[in-house]
Amino acid sequence: MLAINLTGRTAVVTGGAGQLGRTIARTLGRCGADVAVHFHTNRAKADEVVRDLVGMGRKAVAVQADVSDEAAVMAMRDAVVKALGDPGIIVNNAVAQYPWKDILSQPVADFESQFDTCVLHNVLMAKAFVPGMIKGRWGRVVGINTDCAPRVWPGEAAYVAGKRGMDGVLRILAKEVGEHQITVNQVAPGWTISDRAREEGSERQPDYEAKIPLRRRGTDQDIANAVAFLSSDLAGFITGVFLPVSGGTVMPAI
């Protein structure tokens, strides 16, 4: 039976202290990777994830940065390389949170924040970490997108605009760096069950679940499993993919 084995690999997970990011970081660790856990403000949770990873026998470090600021991302890169060496895997998961409103009511600042943390975030992470992958002739870039991007539902304009811009950047990056044996893919979750939903007891959402072919919401572990696969040698000939992990809520067509 084939297994996902990331032993000897180093990963960076942005938003690694967040609801989804912490599960991604722990899953990569269970697969054998050493992990840099990025955080913006929640150092306590990042440190908790690092302790979990160290408890698995992994090397791990918490690193702080504003992912929309070039100097901060480059400083984060230097800290990661010093602690763990050049990463071969980056998971671009961080994104700014904001209240969703219709376009006429949505503040312009929210569109700017989504551009900064979706598009610019991915550009800066590529500039910081892909050169090391090119040098090593191996790399995995995984962007966390959303099934909202193809659904284009009312009220989601700023989020969808940022994620669609991110999609364009990563598809082009896949073509630009493929010759170096670097893959670039996206995982697009639906409305996912994470620690917050479990704590609130809000896992079940019957109206939403009725619209999902698999008739259930996905979990943070479902998303992390897809990330681990795309980070592994099992996915070595897969690049440029937008992969919904949403139970069939969206089905990209040919």
Please count the other Cβ atoms lying within 10 Å of the Cβ belonging to residue 153.
Answer: 10
Helix H or strand E segment including 36: strand 34-39
Q: 208 and 215 in contact (C-beta within 8 Å)? A: no
Alpha helices in the chain (DSSP H): 21-30, 43-55, 70-84, 108-114, 121-136, 148-151, 157-177, 195-200, 206-209, 220-230
Distances (CA, A) of 45 to 18, 21, 39, 62, 63: 8, 11, 9, 10, 12
Catalytic one among 27, 159, 187, 249?
159
Q: Is 159 a catalytic residue?
A: yes
Angstrom distance (rounded) from CA 58 to CA 34: 5
Looking up tokens 């598809």, which residue turns up? 171
Angstrom distance (rounded) from CA 158 to CA 156: 6
Hey, which residues are catalytic here? 159
